[in-house]
Amino acid sequence: MTRLLKGLFLLLALAFCAAAPLLMQVESAQAQSVPQLSEAEPDYETWIRTADRADEAIEAARASTTALETLREDLASWRQQFLDAQSINSNALATVRRQISDLGPVPEEGEEPEDVAANRQLLQDRFDRLNAPVLRAELAFSRADGLIRGIDKIIRDRQAEELLEFGPSPLNPTHWAAGLAALPATLTQLSGEVSKAWRNPVQAAETKNSLPVVAVLTLLGLILVSRGRVWSRRLTNRVLGESPGAGLWITGFLVSLGSLVLPFVGILLLIEAVVSTGLVGLRGDQLLAAFVPAAFAFLLARWLATRVFPADEARTLPLVLDATQRSRGRFFGACLGLVAATAVFLRDVGDISGWSDAARNVVVFPVLVMSSFLLWRLANLLRVHVRNSSEADGEESYRTKLISLLAVGLVVLAFVTPLLAAIGYFRLAESLMLPSLASLEMLAVLLVLQRLVVEVYVLITGNREGAAESLIPILIGFLLVLASLPIFALIWGARVADLTELWTQVLDGISIGGVRISPMIFLTFALVFVLGYLATRMVQGALKNTILPKTRIDAGGRNAIVSGVGYLGIFLAAVIAITSAGIDLSSIAIVAGALSVGIGFGLQNIVSNFVSGIILLIERPISEGDWIEVGGVHGTVRDISVRSTIIQTFDRSDVIVPNSDLVSGRVTNYTRGNTVGRVIVPVGVAYGTDTKKVETILQEVADAHPLVLMNPPPAVLFRSFGASSLDFEIRAILRDVNYVMSVHSEMNHEIARRFEEEGIEVPFAQRDIWIRNPEALPSPPSDQAKEVPAKSKDMSAHITPEDLDAGKGDADGDGGGR
């Protein structure tokens, strides 16, 4: 019985092991056929309540801006959830979509088989069930996005109304009393808080106990505020010396930050000392908190002024100004930072103390006027820089034009801002002046950072000549400008929500032909393509320098293989990059097909040259290094690219020949396969010379030259009886036709030497002119007639070819030549 039970258990175990894979497949199929809702699906009931509340708030438009901002943050969170929910069941949807595509389209005529129709319907139903959560998320996303846009519109409209609001004019004498009483009232409130705290015995005891700490903090703060900048400047000058290198300059730059950091730390210590007394109330804490950013803005402006208008600079100046003008620039920059910090601090004080609009405008207006005056003086310095730079360079550069436009803008701002404030548009004047001052500080920061980038580049590369105009510093400067754009946007009143909304739209991208295009797609495409391109270049380098030189393939074949690998690698890199970026080429196949027709007609020459380049690489009728003649141009093939071939002529100029001309035209290749070629040296001797003797001399000259091959042997030909000479030719085969001109010259030298030794004359062209009617010529003067030789009776004369060329116009008459 026990053995029987053991046998039954063993059979059951074997049956279970055999059926387990089938059961797993069935369960997997059931799991795939019945889609399960994702746990990440949003809570749509809560969302509907939130959306309804947002609709009511937008329709009423009575909620405060703070409440609307809070509601907007909530809606943005919901929108992100819906965006994430759109990827639910993405893998399953892609699988079903491929399965439906594999079934093919529904036949237009007739009926498809029942099993195919059933499978199609089953897949379509499954696709609809899987896609239902995605559609729901898309609808919710659209509603959330619309609500957010509505809230943004309300907030922007309110900001515009506040800017254009007409308020009390600071020039109205009726408002001066309120303005003059505003600051004393604030000081009275602060002193009241201090007195109230001092009258508290417990607080008074704590204050007395903290006096040592307060004294130490105050002493340290005063020392850093008064002496920190002086110490930093002395140490900077000691580090820089007379002619600092890039490393010393960077060290000095970092040390110069002490003139910003040390006084700011001193201010923080002084504020901490005041807070440690325990006598500061709520309003005092708020004022101290408002004083910190204002103080930092002033210290930053003063430090930037020392960098933009330096007192001593070993190499280059940011602006072309003399020492006196730079000193004024430092003063104006520091004062401008001071008045800007004062304006911001007074605005915050007015908000904290509850000043009326009239009192606030009267207090801040003198600060705006002082800012305008300093801007005007600073604009004058920029104009001086533009004039000096134009005189030094001889023309106005692009950077100089920008600075000139900046100077004009500052002048306009200096006159418009006080005028608007005086009229009553005080908020608009503040919204123009304060962001402009902050933007000037940001521009100065970018200028200083660009100079730091150049010095770091010099330190790394060791190349100072032209470092400021090198590509890498310029690209880094461009990236710095791009990174500063959000800061400029915040300075000019943009909300953080606006920037996050813009970033969301950028990441979301746009849909073109069913393909969503976003910056991440471009970044992925660029990254994968660059990696593929680098890998292709590495393979080309390995083939060219390591593998192919060890084979028996000639240089032209090796270059063809390397070029072919390059084309193939770039093509594969592009295809892989497109696939990795998720771009579906089938979605744009119709557009690509339509464009291909236009490309075929408009770019047929380029396509022809491209195909011809491939033919040249495969067939190799010419190779790099060959001496060819095409279109009357002689030269050496230097490079065969996709579109054209570069031929370097013997005067070292490059001729770019389209590849189609090399394939369809007539090309002479003097070094195809080998460098053997023929040289022809023409020689003429005077009439009466022994022709056999000349033939012997020329044969000896040809045989004696080291580059002339003896198989086949050189030949000397008596070609013709010329007009002035007996014409011979040396025809010889050279082992290297690249030296044909040198061989020609050397043979001529040797022939001239041998002819001189043998007394053989090389004739020059001569002409005899016979005048048929000499009586038509004018008679010479009597005194000159005696000097005419007797031979002139027949009026014959010998002239040179130059005389013939000079008198060609006079010899067209009835004269004859021979």
Q: What is the mean pLDDT of residues 155-175?
A: 86
Alpha helices in 210-315 (DSSP H): 211-240, 246-256, 258-276, 282-308
Q: Which residue has the tokens 């510093």?
A: 473
Most confident of 313-322, 345-354, 586-595: 345-354
Q: How far apart are CA 57 and CA 72, in angstroms?
A: 11
Q: How far apart are CA 580 and CA 562, in angstroms?
A: 26
Q: What is the pLDDT of residues 783-809, one digit of tens each?
A: 544 444 444 434 444 444 444 344 444
Percentage of the chain modeled with pLDDT above 90: 18
**What tokens does 520 get?**
């991440």
What DSSP designation does 537 have? H
Instruction: Please check the confidence at residue 817 and state whether its pLDDT lies above 90.
Output: no
Q: How far apart are CA 588 and CA 573, in angstroms?
A: 20
Burial 687-717 (b: 16+ CB within 10 A, else e): eebeeeebeebbeebbeebebbeeeeebebe
Instruction: Please check the confidence at residue 585 and state whether its pLDDT lies above 80.
Output: no
Do the domain assignments include residue 341?
yes
How would DSSP label each residue in 571-626? HHHHHHHHHHTT--GGGGHHHHHHHHHHHHHHTHHHHHHHHHHHHHHHH-SS-TT-
In degrees to the nearest 10, what's the CA dihedral of 231, 233, 235, 239? 180
Q: For residues 391 and 320, state if they share a domain.
A: yes
Q: For residues 15 and 150, state if they share a domain.
A: no
- CATH number of the domain residue 751 falls in: 3.30.70.100
Q: How far apart are CA 70 and CA 51, in angstroms?
A: 14
* 811: containing domain: 767-817
Q: What is the pLDDT of residues 598-607, one digit of tens each?
A: 666 666 777 7
What DSSP designation does 242 have? S
**What tokens does 626 get?**
């060959």
Q: What is the pLDDT of residues 723-765, one digit of tens each?
A: 888 999 999 999 888 888 899 999 999 999 999 888 888 887 6
**What tokens does 82 get?**
């819906």
Exposed, middle or buried, 640 (CB in 10 Å: 0-12/13-18/19+)?
A: buried
What Å distances lie between residue 665 and 604, 658, 772, CA to CA? 18, 11, 54
Q: Which of 236-245, 289-298, 775-784 has the lowest mean pLDDT?
A: 775-784
Do the domain assignments include residue 195?
yes
Q: How far apart are CA 238 and CA 256, in angstroms?
A: 11
Do the domain assignments include residue 392?
yes
Q: Under a CB-based contact definition with an 8 Å cutoff, are residues 639 and 645 in contact?
A: yes
Q: Which of 82-96, 218-232, 247-261, 713-727 has the lowest mean pLDDT?
A: 82-96
Q: For residues 546 and 444, state if they share a domain.
A: no
What DSSP designation does 349 have? H
Do the domain assignments include residue 355?
yes
Write down the pLDDT at residue 728. Answer: 94
Write down the pLDDT at residue 508. Answer: 67
Write down the pLDDT at residue 415. Answer: 92
Q: Residue 2: pLDDT band by 50, 70, 90 thresholds?
A: very low
Task: Say which residue, 220 or 806, is predicted with more confidence.
Answer: 220
Helices 211-240 and 246-256 meet at what angle, rounded to 10? Answer: 160
Q: For residues 478 and 381, state if they share a domain.
A: yes
Burial 656-679 (b: 16+ CB within 10 A, else e): ebbbbbbbeeebeebbbeeeebeb
Write down the pLDDT at residue 642. Answer: 72
Q: Under a CB-based contact definition with an 8 Å cutoff, are residues 694 and 702 in contact?
A: no
pTM over 0.95: no
Q: For residues 746 and 800, state if they share a domain.
A: no
- Who's near 650: CB < 8 A, 6+ residues apart? 634, 635
Task: Say which residue, 154 or 675, is predicted with more confidence.
Answer: 154
Q: Under a CB-based contact definition with an 8 Å cutoff, are residues 169 and 96 in contact?
A: no
> Distance from CA of residue 138 to its chain's centroid?
36
Q: For residues 384 and 341, state if they share a domain.
A: yes
Q: Minimal CA–CA distance to 708: which of 737, 672, 750, 745?
A: 737
Q: Determine the residue type at 538.
A: M
Q: Residue 160: pLDDT band by 50, 70, 90 thresholds?
A: confident
Do the domain assignments include residue 267?
no
Q: Determine the residue type at 502.
A: L
Q: For residues 790 and 747, state if they share a domain.
A: no
Q: Residue 619: pLDDT band by 50, 70, 90 thresholds?
A: confident
Q: How far apart are CA 544 and CA 558, in angstroms?
A: 7
Residues paired with residue 717 on neighbouring β-strands, in sequence order: 729
Instruction: Please check the confidence at residue 439 and state whether its pLDDT lies above 50.
Output: yes
Q: For residues 187 and 329, state if they share a domain.
A: yes
Q: How far apart are CA 190 and CA 281, in angstroms?
A: 8
Do the domain assignments include residue 781?
yes
Task: Provide the domain count of the chain.
Answer: 6
Q: How far apart are CA 543 and CA 563, in angstroms?
A: 10
Instruction: Please check the confidence at residue 3 and state whether its pLDDT lies above 70.
Output: no
Q: For residues 471 and 563, state if they share a domain.
A: no
Q: For residues 753 and 644, state if they share a domain.
A: no
Most confident of 202-206, 391-395, 682-686: 682-686
Write down the pLDDT at residue 419. Answer: 92
What Å distances lie between residue 623 and 549, 647, 651, 662, CA to CA? 16, 11, 20, 12
Q: For residues 653 and 687, state if they share a domain.
A: no
Do the domain assignments include residue 270?
no
Q: For residues 44 and 30, state if they share a domain.
A: no
- Who's near 64: CB < 8 A, 6+ residues apart? none
Exposed, middle or buried, 489 (CB in 10 Å: 0-12/13-18/19+)?
A: middle
What DSSP designation does 544 have? I
Do the domain assignments include residue 708?
yes
SS3 638: strand
Q: How far apart are CA 320 and CA 10, in angstroms?
A: 98
Q: What is the pLDDT of residues 559-583, one digit of tens each?
A: 778 888 888 888 898 888 887 776 6
Q: How far apart are CA 282 and CA 285, in angstroms?
A: 5
**What tokens does 737 get?**
């036709």
Q: How far apart are CA 704 and CA 750, in angstroms?
A: 10
∠ CA 740-746-751, rounded to 5°: 120
Q: How far apart are CA 437 and CA 430, in angstroms?
A: 11
